[in-house]
Structure 1
């Protein structure tokens, strides 16, 4: 027969363990050795005081999620997670720090009811305007001479971009493509031979996308989530074919027009400074003009308090602060 006092402690420990099963709480209580210690740790007078304060102030930290929608101009706009306070994780984290009068807030994300997937087959031109993030898209269909410099700048600025690879380029330059992946950048699909997709047959559309995707997977061991049609040319059938290949069609918000020799680095920088906003997808190519402009383009975005990430980062419903936290873990 288990003594009543021991049984009570066990029940208390089990109850608290159920509360603190979430990874945030577990990570903060690193010094706890067993369930009984957890129960004691979380049920002290100080823990109760902090918990009462957290529960009282939690409503001030609540942010409502935003549903994905189809905009009249921008078409598919992803949703944005809301957030709420994780009470027990906040209590645990606050107890672990030296100043226990300063609440160490820990949040849980609240997904929207409607996501990008729920919008059906629509083109994407930008992220959610309430999410302070942007992405640099690099369409790669010719040359390799400027890629090392671009990768070096991105590394120096601690920025991850999304490179959309033309299949015929990839077949000729697999080692250069591997360096892009090794640097931590995202890979997208840019068809195989750079055709105007709306002007080819359905069979050709399928071949252009699937052939490139097969090459990407075999050469780089990654899978594309995003399809960028060459020259931004598409019609409804292109969207449907890409969707059948399990990809969404992505265009851009701002085009640097860096492929034109008349576009100077100064013009490109001014365009970004004037028009960049939360959710912007910035289109570039590996040119000498881009290399010259890229450091200032990146800094112009950062000056606006906008975090640069991959296309997946920008189009995800995940909050920017949570994406940053994941990368630090």
Structure 2
């Protein structure tokens, strides 16, 4: 009798475990199906890069789609749908910047709440160490577009910029007016500058900021043929006119926007304003390297 009772009790336990497993499997299946059903609500289509009438070469932006399997793994312990635990895959657009013809790039995508700081360098070596120190204190990177002649005469500063991991681009050699140079002169100028800059970066120079923003179609096409993008700006400190610190900061902050590129130079007022300016920008935007700003990544 005891053996029979024990056997019946064991069967009851097994049945209970099986029932519990069935409920668990059912709940999991329901959660998985819920994620599949809701994924369309969170889908964002990718946007192609394009040539804008005003802003010229404009970066595209990746779309996104829900990764159902990863999202399920994130939620299965709670056994309920939670949009904060959704995992996504990015979807590349059909047309990228590299697919577009030669044209200047003024800013990043309008949907990216990020900005980049562009520092054009042909002079002002005495202010660069202070600016580098400020960048380091905020753990951000600037984008230095450097004159080949300056780099040749200031090797220690170049080493500092490179070792700190800042983006280095070309500002041409000798601060010429590129709009007045023929294609051959543009090519020689950029080649000589790149040779100098690449000695510090160990990488090909990809970015070119023409002095004073002056260029011609020949400039654009020659740089493009050399696998270089021409970089301009959407917000200008106009620091070379020696504004007060307050004027410089207001000039930038009042014009900030998604994807902004902020032009500055190594001047006394910029060096003195940089810490406060970065703090104010960070209240609403993330400061990133230029390649990240114009990338398609969300």
Aligned to 2:126, what secondary structure does the other structure show?
coil
1:120 matches 2:116: no
SS at 1:59 equivalent: helix
CA distance in 2, matches of 1:209, 1:172: 17
Give TM-score, length-normalised by structure 1. 0.78
1:175-228 CA distance string (max 9 Å, x none): 221221222211111111111111123222111111111122223212222110
Q: Secondary structure at the match of 1:239?
A: helix
Give per-residue Cα distances to partners, 1:4-54, cap 9 Å, x unaligned.
Answer: xxxxxxxxxxxxxxxxxxxxxxxxxxxxxxxxxxxxxxx966653442232
CA distance in 2, matches of 1:157, 1:192: 31
How far apart are the structure 2 equivalents of 1:100 and 1:247? Answer: 51
Q: Which runs of 5+ in 1 are unaligned?
A: 1-42, 320-329
Distance in 1 (alpha carbons) for counterparts of 2:138 and 2:79: 36
Evaluate the alpha carbon distance shift between residue 50 and residue 271 of structure 1 in structure 2; reply closer, same or farther with a 3 A threshold: same
* Structure-to-structure mapping, 1:105-184, within 5 angstroms: 105-184=86-165
Structure 1 residues 47, 160: closer, same or farther in 2, change over 3 A?
farther
Q: Distance in 2 between matches of 1:88 and 1:232?
A: 49
Name the larger-Rg structure: 2
Q: 1:292 aligns with which of 253, 259, 272?
A: 272
Find the aligned partners of 2:240 and 2:220 in 1 and give their Cα distance.
Answer: 25
Match of 1:324 in 2: none
Shift of 1:299: 2.5
2:287 is matched with 308
Alignment of 1:213 with 2:194, yes or no, is yes
Partner of residue 250, structure 1: 231
Contact 2:143 2:166 in 1 (8 A): yes
**RMSD of the TM alignment (CA)?**
1.9
SS in structure 1 of the partner of residue 239 of structure 2: coil
Specify which structure has the bigger relative contact order, considering alpha-carbon pairs within 8 angstroms and separated by 6 or more residues: 2
Contact 2:168-2:201 within 8 A present in 1 as well: no
Alpha-carbon offset, residue 81 of structure 1: 0.9
Distance 1:128 1:63 in 2: 15
Q: Deviations over 1:229-268 (max 9, x none)?
A: 011110000001101111010111011011222x122111
**Do the aligned residues in 2 keep the contact of 1:84 with 1:110 (CA within 8 Å)?**
yes
**Unpaired stretches in structure 2, ≥5 consecutive residues:** 1-23
* Residues 272, 300 of structure 1: 8 Å contact kept: no
Take 2:122 and 2:79, find their aligned partners in 1: how far apart are those partners? 56
Whole-Å Cα distance in 1 between the matches of residues 68 and 104 of structure 2? 39
Three-state SS of the structure 2 residue aligned to 1:275 is coil
Deviation per residue, 1:100-128 (Å, 9 max, x gap): 54452211111112221222111111111
Q: Structure 1 residues 179, 100: closer, same or farther in 2, change over 3 A?
A: farther
Runs of 4 or more off by more than 6 Å in structure 1? none
Q: Give the secondary structure class of the aligned counterpart of 1:177.
A: helix
Counterparts of 1:194 and 1:239 in 2: how far apart (Å)?
A: 17
Could you state the TM-score of these two structures normalised by the residue count of structure 2? 0.86
Give, in whole Å, the separation in 2 of the partners of 1:69 and 1:249: 15
For the residue of structure 2 that corresponds to 1:83, the secondary structure is: strand
